[in-house]
Amino acid sequence: MGFSLGAFPAQLLAQEWRRILNCVLMGGAMPPAEIGGEWRHNVRLSIHVADPDDWVPDSELTPLILHAPESHVHRYAGRRHMFVDPSCADYDADAADLFEERLLEWLEAAPHRKP
């Protein structure tokens, strides 16, 4: 899971490390080719972005969605970039609650590997 600038390393690791099976990007996404590879189709992906989000332009988001057509993309209309962070001016409690609900639902649906 990566938030804002932390979405970059989360996406990079999900693209590179075979043991990663799930990835959540909040407020960040990049075209897979820009970080040296392709999206691995066996990695579940959940993307959450403000709409519009100056930090995540469609030119960055769309190529990832095209490479990960099974991804769950959630746009939060009228919110600002870091609407989930109560320490930021962008914070929106209702949108943060909705993000948490969607995230928990997505995580509950994740297949579980046996150790």
| Phi, psi torsion values for 91, nearest 5 degrees | -55, 135
Give 9-53 pLDDT, tens digit per residue: 999 999 999 999 999 999 999 999 998 889 998 999 999 999 999
Indicate the pLDDT class of residue 89, thresholds 50, 70 and 90: very high
Q: Is the pLDDT of residue 113 over 70?
A: no
Indicate the pLDDT class of residue 114, thresholds 50, 70 and 90: low
Helix (H) or strand (E) holding 62: helix 58-67
Q: What is the pLDDT of residue 51?
A: 94
Tell me the residue ranges of DSSP E strands in the chain: 2-3, 22-26, 44-51, 72-77
How far, in Å, CA of 74 to CA of 77, rounded?
Answer: 10
Architecture of domain 2-108: 3-Layer(aba) Sandwich (3.40)
For the sheet with 22-26, list strands across it.
Answer: 2-3, 22-26, 44-51, 72-77
Q: Is the pLDDT of residue 87 over 80?
A: yes
